[in-house]
Amino acid sequence: MQIVKDHGPITGESIAEKLNLTRATLRPDLAILTMAGYLEARPRVGYFYTGKTGSQLLADKIKKIKVEDYQSIPVVVNENVSVYDAIVTMFLEDVGTLFVVDDEALLAGVLSRKDLLRASIGKQELTTIPVNIIMTRMPNVAVCYKDDPLIEVAERLIEKQIDAMPVVRKTEKGYEVIGRITKTNMTKAFVALAKDDLL
């Protein structure tokens, strides 16, 4: 690193010479420093010192994490199921948010724990009211895509004060639900980052 700082841009060959090593011996070290972002390699020019600090490199790493690296399997219910059945599904599937789809399996809405609690403290008959009466419906549902940076989805969860977002695929007819991103997925990414064990 010091040699590159002092003499960069410098070829791998010249660095090896200064260290009395062969190019082959040095290659893995240069590969690691380049991959970690401390050095940059330009073809036919040589190695540069990027000048990036540890926290800048960490930020770069975080921005590269995609939704698909951490998404979970979505749990969906049809918009005509009863509030009672949605509550049972939420317990059986052990999730905090259900995604609601129409008869064509396209996203119609979202049901959170509080949506179901609110309906339960009313005087309605839970086995007869369909979830589409109480859900947050399209187009008010915040969605994300598998290629979105995970950090942008985290920011939107905070901004909108919600726990989860469906991962969708856009079709001509509407959105197909292909995954689920929740605060738990964010926690997992955070822990993986600390263990330097990103997917």
The piece of 26-34, 64-72, 163-171, 173-181 that touches ligand ADP (CB under 6 A) is 163-171
Nearest distance, CB of residue 191 and ligand ADP, angstroms: 22
| DSSP character string of 51-98 | ---HHHHHHHHHHT-BHHHH-B---EEETTSBHHHHHHHHHHHT-SEE
Residue (39 or 164) nearer to ligand ADP, CB: 164
Nearest distance, CB of residue 115 and ligand ADP, angstroms: 5
SS3 content of the chain, % helix, strand, coil (to 5): 45, 25, 35
In this structure, what token pair is assigned to residue 16? 């090896």
Determine the distance from the C-alpha atom of residue 36 to the mean position of all C-alpha atoms in its chain, rounded to a whole number: 21
Residues 62-121 that bind ligand ADP (CB under 6 A): 96-97, 110, 112-115
Nearest distance, CB of residue 143 and ligand ADP, angstroms: 7
Q: Is 105 left (phi over 0), alpha (psi -120 to 50) or beta?
A: left
**Inter-axis angle of helices 150-160 and 54-63, to 10 degrees?**
80
Q: Which of 65, 75, 141, 177 forms a contact with ligand ADP (CB under 6 A)?
A: 141
φ and ψ of 165, to 5 deg: -140, 140
User: By the 8 A CB rule, do 188 and 180 touch?
Assistant: no
Residue (61 or 183) nearer to ligand ADP, CB: 183
Residue (136 or 184) nearer to ligand ADP, CB: 136
Contact call for residue 163 and ligand ADP (CB under 6 A): yes
Contact call for residue 162 and ligand ADP (CB under 6 A): yes
Nearest distance, CB of residue 187 and ligand ADP, angstroms: 15
Q: Site residues (CB under 6 A) for ligand ADP?
A: 96-97, 110, 112-115, 136, 140-142, 161-165
